[in-house]
């Protein structure tokens, strides 16, 4: 009998029940008990769902009120000093203070830093440690949730983030070495494992996703040391879980670790099965991640079965488990609840529930159960229909892409010539001012959109509303004296969804929520087929806005890599191929904007960096096609049309070549929070084109002084040519209110004027 095990399940609930409960609790409308009740209900519902879908082993302690890395830090009492009094007095309030900061009850605490969980769109809170860190068990969440699941009669397997990944994902704030803390941490892991054993847990899933990364000698030594120590503990059996990639060159290290089972990701890295099976020790359990935990497509069960049979023939089914490639946290819960998708597309989808059902079929097929045959036949039919669907394959898209030559990804002239042509056309002053695109998405704007969507506001009235908002925004920008204006993006719900809704090849779910962080969920579009642009998408609003003013109006687009990165993408062709299709559709849009008289066009790529593969060896391939896609989007225009790009993050050191190769005329970046430090990368590289280093942080309602911005600009002028510099905020203003937006932008314009005066005086 082959066991079906799940590694983790979404937490928020199909209707985002957890989000609602959290927000009510944060607002002070409900008590902590009510929140915990909702959480318990969700756990129970999700466990039963998994069991009913066919899981033999369900995960527990994968649930979190906010984030599992924060849970781990909290559990081991890795609570920075400033939060401690609150955490001691009111653990729940302390926990959320770490997660999101607090300004209640006389406290003024920032949240912990948040960052992306490997290459997913899930964000975890970065534990903050010090060299003299003391770890001890605080509470008994893993044990309590294990007992909870067992009380329902389930075979549950507690999930713990492993000690080495925990430390590697954390940071120290005093310059000490994280891994030096291992010896302090291991006794607490041993104690916890002992308690889980005493509670009756036969197995624990210990997640060490860092085993798929490039590890140095110290990391490897830490792994050896940690698992040698845990081998001595009186503990349940350990299923060591790796995911998100190939164990690769870490396999010999993994073989040295004294665990009782190993999970490998065979979706991202199917080829590793061969190497893993070589010299597999008979007494170890092997868990095969054969169903994609990162995407929404039904599995090619025949292909998965080949892998499962290969493993079974090599090691026997008693030591075999079938599982998703990783936790199902990254997919929505239940595709059967989607009622409005086209039937044909709906048939191809598997969310968490359907993925467990697929594993059940695979397990039954492996064990030779007859009922699996019918299910396999059905699955084969779906694969077949998808493979041949006219919705997926549009020959005209392939034909156009095939006809594209190398000149399509090159601007007509090199930057210096373009710069002259653009200067002549635009006639901008030194230190030109602009914004990143969006202006406040007020309650009114969102309300009008919702009303239009539900049919309560007619299209004509909604249009009139948007026109009025846009005009107000243009007048506002003129009045405060910005040089390059934007239309304000009032018509856009989301920077990817807005484009996806207008492109062929995209589908949208009603309940396809995925947790981004804490209570924040996103509903990524599903790219199911060849991407095509039936008609212009943004020209109308940009053209209208330009008609209102003599100043240059900047057209605003989301770049191909960002559209790709923030969607569920096809698994039947490489990501690079889908990205090229999106790029081609956006190229048409760029040309239409240019044709409509728009002389400045910004193509946002905030997700370019996060698309970087986990292993350095794979970076170049990715960056090559990502840059190529951007260039395909941007390069059709004449020299005098100015192309901007925007990236709202700060780590450019690793990707500077690629950023320069994009060859945008102007790039705006996040610099205000790091006080221009990240300009270093641009300076070291001698970035040749124009740069707009964000001069203030739009993520905070705080209004900056003009002098703060001139200080930052002085720093920039010290290392770059004044002719290279633009003045802008560090991201879009959609989350801000109007009063602070006005005050901040007025101060920003004043800062630019002061800089111009300074240069004039020096000359
Ligand atoms: N143009 C977008 C805006 O201003 C850019 C958003 C982003 O960088 N994430 O909102
Ligand atoms: Zn941004």
Q: What is the 3-state secondary structure (H, E, C) of 342-369?
A: CHHHHCCECCHHHHHHHHHHHHHHHCCC
Å from CA of 435 to ligand 1 middle: 10
Structural domain boundaries of the chain? 3-327, 417-762
Q: Cα–Cα distances in Å, from 699 out to 19, 126, 648, 704, 730? A: 21, 19, 11, 12, 9
Question: Cα 674 to the chain's mean position, in Å?
Answer: 22
Closest among 660, 601, 590, 586 to 425, alpha carbons compared = 601
Q: Is 583 in the pocket of ligand 1 (CB under 6 A)?
A: no
Q: Please give the structure tokens belonging to residue 621.
A: 């391939």
Å from CA of 468 to ligand 2 middle: 25
DSSP label of 487: -
Q: Is 694 in the pocket of ligand 1 (CB under 6 A)?
A: no
Å from CA of 492 to ligand 2 middle: 15
The residue nearest atom 3 of ligand 1, judged by CA position, is: 732
The torsion of the CA quartet 394, 399, 401, 405, rounded to 10 degrees, works out to 180
Residue 429's contacts (CB-CB under 8 Å, 6 or more residues apart) are 483, 756
Å from CA of 230 to ligand 2 middle: 44
The torsion of the CA quartet 329, 4, 245, 384, rounded to 10 degrees, works out to -90
Question: Token pair 């200080």 is at which residue?
Answer: 711
Which of 281 and 576 is assigned the larger pLDDT?
Answer: 576
With contact defined as beta carbons under 8 Å apart, do 647 and 609 qualify? Answer: yes
pLDDT tens digits, 327-375:
999 999 999 999 999 999 999 999 999 999 999 999 999 999 999 999 9
At residue 684, the pLDDT reads: 82
Tell me the three state secondary structure of residue 412. coil
The residue nearest atom 10 of ligand 1, judged by CA position, is: 732
Does 727 score more than 80 pLDDT?
yes
At residue 673, the pLDDT reads: 66
With contact defined as beta carbons under 8 Å apart, do 527 and 506 qualify? Answer: yes
Residue 399 CB neighbours (<10 A):
9
Q: How far apart are CA 595 and CA 516, in angstroms?
A: 38
The residue nearest atom 1 of ligand 1, judged by CA position, is: 437
Phi, psi of 152 (to 5 degrees): -85, 5
Compute the 3-state secondary structure of the chain and give helix, strand, coil in percent, each to the nearest 5. Answer: 50, 15, 40
Q: How far apart are CA 110 and CA 82, in angstroms?
A: 10
Closest among 356, 329, 365 to 51, alpha carbons compared = 356
Question: Token pair 């240019």 is at which residue?
Answer: 594
At residue 573, the pLDDT reads: 97
Q: Is 438 in the pocket of ligand 1 (CB under 6 A)?
A: yes
Ligand nearest to the CA of 607: 1
Q: Is 734 in the pocket of ligand 1 (CB under 6 A)?
A: yes
Å from CA of 494 to ligand 1 middle: 9
Lowest-pLDDT choice from 321-330, 356-365, 383-392, 669-678: 669-678
The residue nearest atom 6 of ligand 1, judged by CA position, is: 732
Q: Please give the structure tokens belonging to residue 123.
A: 């964000």
Closest atom of ligand 1 relative to the 435 alpha carbon: 4
pLDDT tens digits, 449-487:
999 999 999 999 999 999 999 999 999 999 999 999 999
CATH architecture of the domain with range 417-762: Alpha-Beta Barrel (3.20)
- Would the CATH topology of 3-327 be identical to that of 417-762? yes
Residue 671's contacts (CB-CB under 8 Å, 6 or more residues apart) are 650, 677, 678, 679, 693, 694, 695, 712, 716, 730
Question: Cα 516 to the chain's mean position, in Å?
Answer: 7
At residue 283, the pLDDT reads: 86
Closest atom of ligand 1 relative to the 562 alpha carbon: 9
Ligand nearest to the CA of 735: 1
Q: Is 64 in the pocket of ligand 1 (CB under 6 A)?
A: no
Å from CA of 668 to ligand 1 middle: 11
What is the pLDDT of the chain when averaged over all its residues? Answer: 96
Q: Is 556 in the pocket of ligand 1 (CB under 6 A)?
A: yes
Ligand nearest to the CA of 733: 1
> At the topology level of CATH, where does 3-327 sit?
TIM Barrel (3.20.20)
% of the chain with per-residue pLDDT over 90 = 91
CA 241-246-247 angle, to 5 degrees, is: 60
Query: For a pocket test of ligand 1, which of 434, 438, 487, 609 has the largest count of ligand atoms closer than 8 A to its C-beta?
Result: 438
Q: Give the burial class of 271: count Cβ atoms within 10 A of its Cβ; 0-12 exposed, 13-18 middle, 19 or more buried.
A: exposed
At residue 279, the pLDDT reads: 82
The residue nearest atom 9 of ligand 1, judged by CA position, is: 606
Query: For a pocket test of ligand 1, which of 434, 437, 608 has the largest count of ligand atoms closer than 8 A to its C-beta?
Result: 437
Which residues belong to the active site? 699
| Radius of gyration of the chain from its Cα atoms, rounded to whole angstroms | 27
Q: Is 495 in the pocket of ligand 1 (CB under 6 A)?
A: yes
The residue nearest atom 4 of ligand 1, judged by CA position, is: 732
Strand partners, 123: 116
Confidence of residue 143 (pLDDT cuts 50, 70, 90): very high
Phi, psi of 205 (to 5 degrees): -90, 120
Q: How far apart are CA 350 and CA 346, in angstroms?
A: 9
Closest atom of ligand 1 relative to the 602 alpha carbon: 1
Q: Is 731 in the pocket of ligand 1 (CB under 6 A)?
A: yes
Ligand nearest to the CA of 562: 1
Confidence of residue 702 (pLDDT cuts 50, 70, 90): confident
Q: Is 732 in the pocket of ligand 1 (CB under 6 A)?
A: yes
With contact defined as beta carbons under 8 Å apart, do 237 and 193 qualify? Answer: no
At residue 144, the pLDDT reads: 98
Phi, psi of 467 (to 5 degrees): -60, -40
Q: Is 648 in the pocket of ligand 1 (CB under 6 A)?
A: yes
Confidence of residue 676 (pLDDT cuts 50, 70, 90): low
pLDDT tens digits, 358-367:
999 999 999 9
Does 678 score more than 80 pLDDT?
no
Helix (H) or strand (E) holding 114, with range, is strand 114-116
At residue 649, the pLDDT reads: 73
Phi, psi of 101 (to 5 degrees): 75, 165
Query: For a pocket test of ligand 1, which of 121, 604, 644 has the largest count of ligand atoms closer than 8 A to its C-beta?
Result: 604
The residue nearest atom 5 of ligand 1, judged by CA position, is: 732
Å from CA of 151 to ligand 1 middle: 48
Does 759 score more than 90 pLDDT?
yes
pLDDT tens digits, 620-671:
999 999 999 999 999 999 999 999 999 987 678 889 999 999 999 999 998 8
What is the bridge-based pairing of β-strands 156-161 and 203-207? parallel
Å from CA of 731 to ligand 2 middle: 4
Question: Cα 151 to the chain's mean position, in Å?
Answer: 36
Confidence of residue 675 (pLDDT cuts 50, 70, 90): low
Closest atom of ligand 1 relative to the 647 alpha carbon: 8
Å from CA of 727 to ligand 2 middle: 14
């Amino acid at each position: 009998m082959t066991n079906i095990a799940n590694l983790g399940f979404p937490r928020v609930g199909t209707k985002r029940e957890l989000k609602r409960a959290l927000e009510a609790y944060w607002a002070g409308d409900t008590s902590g008990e009510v929140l915990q009740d909702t959480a318990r209900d969700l756990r129970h519902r999700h466990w039963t769902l998994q069991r009913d879908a066919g899981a033999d082993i369900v995960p527990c302690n994968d649930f979190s009120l906010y984030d599992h890395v924060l849970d781990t830090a909290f559990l081991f009492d890795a609570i920075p000093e400033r939060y401690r009094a609150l955490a001691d007095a009111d653990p729940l309030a302390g926990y959320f203070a770490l997660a999101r900061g607090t300004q209640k009850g006389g406290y003024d605490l920032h949240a912990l830093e948040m960052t992306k969980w490997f290459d997913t769109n899930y964000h975890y809170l970065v534990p903050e440690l010090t060299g003299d860190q003391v770890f001890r068990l605080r509470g008994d969440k893993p044990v309590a949730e294990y007992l909870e699941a067992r009380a329902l009669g389930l075979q549950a397997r507690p999930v713990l983030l492993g000690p080495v990944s925990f430390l590697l994902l954390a940071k120290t704030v005093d310059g000490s070495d994280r891994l030096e803390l291992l010896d302090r941490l291991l006794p607490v892991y041993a104690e916890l494992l002992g308690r889980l054993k005493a509670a009756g847990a036969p197995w624990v899933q210990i997640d060490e996703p860092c085993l798929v990364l490039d590890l140095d000698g110290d990391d490897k030594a830490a792994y050896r040391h940690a698992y040698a120590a845990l081998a001595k503990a009186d503990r349940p059996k350990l299923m060591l879980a790796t995911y998100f990639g190939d164990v690769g060159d870490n396999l010999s290290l993994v073989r040295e670790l004294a665990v009782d089972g190993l999970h490998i990701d065979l979706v991202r890295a199917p080829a590793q099965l061969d190497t893993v099976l070589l010299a597999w020790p008979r007494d170890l359990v092997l868990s095969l991640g054969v169903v994609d935990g990162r995407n929404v497509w039904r599995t090619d069960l025949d292909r998965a079965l080949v892998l499962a049979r290969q493993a079974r023939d090599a090691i026997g089914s008693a030591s075999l488990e079938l599982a998703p490639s990783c936790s199902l946290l990254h997919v929505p819960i239940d595709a059967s609840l989607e009622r409005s998708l086209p039937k044909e597309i709906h048939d191809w989808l598997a969310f968490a529930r359907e993925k467990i059902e697929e594993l059940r079929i695979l397990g039954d097929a492996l064990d030779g159960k007859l009922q699996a045959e019918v299910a396999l036949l059905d699955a084969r039919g779906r694969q077949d229909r998808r493979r041949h669907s006219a919705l997926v394959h549009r020959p005209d898209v392939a034909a156009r892409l095939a006809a594209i030559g190398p000149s399509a990804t090159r601007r007509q002239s090199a930057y210096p010539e373009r710069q002259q042509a653009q200067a002549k056309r635009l006639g901008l002053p030194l230190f030109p001012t602009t914004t990143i695109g969006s202006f406040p998405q007020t309650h009114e704007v969102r309300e009008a959109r919702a009303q239009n969507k539900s049919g309560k506001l007619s299209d004509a009235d909604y249009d009139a509303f948007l026109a009025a908002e846009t005009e107000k925004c243009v007048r506002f920008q003129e009045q405060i004296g910005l040089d390059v204006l934007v239309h304000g993006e009032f018509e856009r719900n989301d920077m990817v969804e807005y484009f996806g809704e207008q492109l062929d090849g995209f589908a949208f779910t009603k309940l396809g929520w995925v947790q981004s962080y804490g209570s924040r969920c996103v509903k990524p579009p599903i790219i199911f087929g060849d991407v095509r642009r039936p008609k212009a998408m943004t020209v109308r609003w940009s053209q209208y806005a330009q008609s209102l003013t003599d100043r240059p109006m900047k057209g605003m687009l989301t770049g191909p890599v960002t559209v790709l990165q923030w969607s569920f993408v096809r698994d039947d062709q490489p990501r690079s191929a889908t990205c090229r299709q999106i790029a081609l559709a956006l190229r048409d849009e760029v040309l239409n904007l240019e044709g409509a008289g728009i002389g400045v066009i910004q193509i946002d790529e905030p997700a370019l960096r996060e698309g970087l593969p986990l292993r350095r060896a794979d970076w170049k391939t990715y960056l090559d096609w990502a840059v190529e896609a951007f260039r395909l989007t941007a390069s059709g225009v004449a020299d005098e049309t100015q192309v901007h790009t925007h990236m709202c993050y700060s780590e450019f050191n690793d990707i500077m070549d690629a950023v320069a190769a994009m060859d945008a005329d102007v790039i705006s970046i996040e610099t205000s929070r790091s006080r221009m430090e990240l300009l270093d990368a641009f300076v070291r590289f001698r970035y040749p084109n124009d740069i707009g280093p964000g001069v203030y942080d739009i993520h905070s309602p705080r209004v900056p002084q003009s002098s703060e911005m001139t200080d930052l600009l002085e720093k920039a002028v010290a290392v770059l040519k004044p002719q290279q510099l633009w003045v802008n905020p560090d991201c879009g203003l959609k989350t801000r209110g109007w009063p602070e937006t006005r005050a901040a932008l007025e101060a920003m314009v004043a800062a630019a004027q002061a800089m111009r005066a300074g240069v004039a005086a020096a000359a």
